[in-house]
Amino acid sequence: MPRFLNTWTGGFEWHPDASKVTYAILSHVWRDSGEGGEQSYDDVLKIQAAVRRDIFTLFRASKASLTEHRELGTIFAHPELSDKIKGFCKVAREAGFRLVWNDACCIDKTSSAELSEAINSMYEWYRLSDMCYVYLADVSEGVPQEIRRAFRFSRWHKRGWTLQELIAPEHIVFLTETWNVLGTKWTLARTLERITGVDFDILTGRSTLNSVSVARRMSWAAERETTRVEDRAYSLLGIFGLHMSPIYGEGENAFLRLQEEIIRTIPDQSIFAWG
């Protein structure tokens, strides 16, 4: 049951079935805390509350027109809302999407039940999305040769969670730091295959994950990094079609549990060759 952000009102909306909703989804590399981090669900709630207070104050003072009230009635004009959320919602809104999902602010991570559901459902939410926007903060504008090089060495290709975010959605648009279009999953499929090792036929939907050996799927993730050691395992649940309760603090045991689930569930001995 994902929580979406409305690109027009800036409010959150719950929808019980993601398959019955039209929405865009964001894939990105989280900023480190030293870079300011990412705005959480609670952060956005506080901005929403501040906007409501501002509107109430304006109405009380009767100093603004109805048009001004409407413009100030969303979080998108608020100076504390991150440029990333503003940019994502603007791009999606202009493409006709009323609802969007962003893992940073659409999950209440203080709720262990909600976090567990999100981790186990994330592959499916990306798969069901009508459009996935990949935001590459380390790819700036420039001459084509510089852009191609920056794309090739983007951190996005090396993060653990972005593997499923590359594979699951049918439609992906890659965006630069300034939200300009670089290309699509289809137009960049050969380049993505060379960068990530993920087979062209998987990227283009000509083959399914079930047709690929466990060892091959594991190899795609071998060089990828996660901030938390447990996420090395949790970020692969969708790649193997598994569900597993996340236990942050278990360390490397998370990957052992993942391997046990793979052995128990998938009749493929190649995992032993990979290990």
How is residue 31 annotated by DSSP? P
- Residue 92 resides in a domain: yes
Reference 49, options 41, 37, 60; nearest CA is: 41
* Helices (H), ranges, the chain: 41-61, 66-72, 83-94, 112-128, 144-152, 162-167, 189-196, 200-203, 214-221, 231-234, 253-265, 270-274
pLDDT of 32:
85
pLDDT of 100:
99
Count of domains forming the chain: 1
List, for residues 194-221, the tens digit of each pLDDT value.
999 999 999 999 999 999 999 999 999 9
pLDDT of 117:
97
Reference 2, options 108, 110, 133; nearest CA is: 108
How is residue 174 annotated by DSSP? E
pLDDT of 59:
57
pLDDT of 275:
56
- Residue 214 resides in a domain: no
- Residue 36 resides in a domain: yes
- Residue 271 resides in a domain: no
- Residue 69 resides in a domain: yes
Angle at 100 between CA 96 and CA 106, to 5 degrees: 165
Domain that residue 174 falls in: 3-207
- Residue 224 resides in a domain: no
Contacts of 258 (CB under 8 A, 6+ apart): 233, 236, 237, 240, 242, 244
**Angle between helices 144-152 and 189-196 in degrees, nearest 10:** 40
In DSSP terms, 104 is beta-bridged to none
Reference 24, options 1, 11, 5; nearest CA is: 5
Reference 122, options 217, 18, 20; nearest CA is: 18
Reference 238, options 76, 82, 77, 126; nearest CA is: 126
Neighbours of 49 (CB within 10 A): 11
List, for residues 103-142, the tens digit of each pLDDT value.
999 999 999 999 999 999 999 999 999 999 999 999 998 8
What pTM value is reported for the model? 0.92
pLDDT of 269:
86
List, for residues 27-37, the tens digit of each pLDDT value.
999 998 777 78
- Residue 35 resides in a domain: yes
Segments of the chain with pLDDT less than 70: 54-73, 274-275
pLDDT of 57:
64
- Residue 233 resides in a domain: no
pLDDT of 142:
84
